[in-house]
Structure 1
């Protein structure tokens, strides 16, 4: 078998499922999958999930799982007004990342969350976002832990499959880290801002495909606003008014469409 010109990485597998590869690269990926049965089985499962969701979005009959149809209907309602249905159809694959234990849990302890409007249970990834915010605060106070202000969203997407939103120009990057979470790799960014002071943006792939509008909550001495677009969930955390933070989260969510 001829070796591909470039190593096949997770981003290539994502693009293969989403039909975003040129023919030559698809052949290389298929050759890679033929030699890696575990990856091939996972990609086949992702292709099935993608096709089930496409069928559900198109309103066609079929034997797809009910949970997939429910997610499709929520997605269609959320995107109908914005005309972005076709774009999200292309993002329909569901990718499950292996969980990794949270290393700082024993030091920082669990976070306490009190939703501003307790209509639905708070997603588990919000706990990880609050812990990541605390970890970033600890790092910022340590001289032995240098900040990493270099930010490359394309590299983050290739390495983690996480698409980052467009950031306001007045948010000054202080630190960018890849942290473990119960869902796999996550991105934690820390900013200095004029409106919020120190602000954190957390992003992770929670293992489900959904559209969740920005939802505000109070968490001890901090506020958070979380949302999900497709396969990636996000949370802003800062010491500020939760509704004000929610408006900033809504602008980030809009940029992903």
Structure 2
């Protein structure tokens, strides 16, 4: 079997986008894409998202961390994430590899998750560093929070119970999304590890889950029944996978 006959893997497709593919495989990948339109469409989608994220976050690199956030960082030493790290981590944020337990959905169109994911990351960056006001409605009012967000968003919003992963609901808030209202839920571990779950209407009914990460931030994003989900948190892929799967399983049971 010659090099050009070796099937192209998903890791190679991402390396191709990032210009990290060995030169001897580049021609083979390009030949593969010319005869595999589904993979070519996926590459186009990932590249479009990467360009949008770079456009949104590249300007943050030279910004100084506000003094208020520096003070909060010193006060909350036990927290595992650093103040301002979420913003810095997103500078090089690009679409990443697939997770794959949800293989039954159709592939997303090139712009399907672009606006939704960027908006979700903006919200994560903004609120994950907040100490006193990270949410509008506290987690102690879960029933009210779910009822309020469901009424405002127009679909059934449920705050997943993530105790099995060591995460407790901090609370949530209503945000503007790319296609209308969006729900935003925040969870925290005993060590200060924070995850946020952002949901909004998606322009694809069902799409496979994807993982993406850069430096200190990672995310899983997918859609189900016309609702897009973005789970943001630390870069640990296995950890994100664990939390995202529990979120997905509970959402599927609620929908069933």
Task: State TM-score, norm by structure 2.
Answer: 0.49
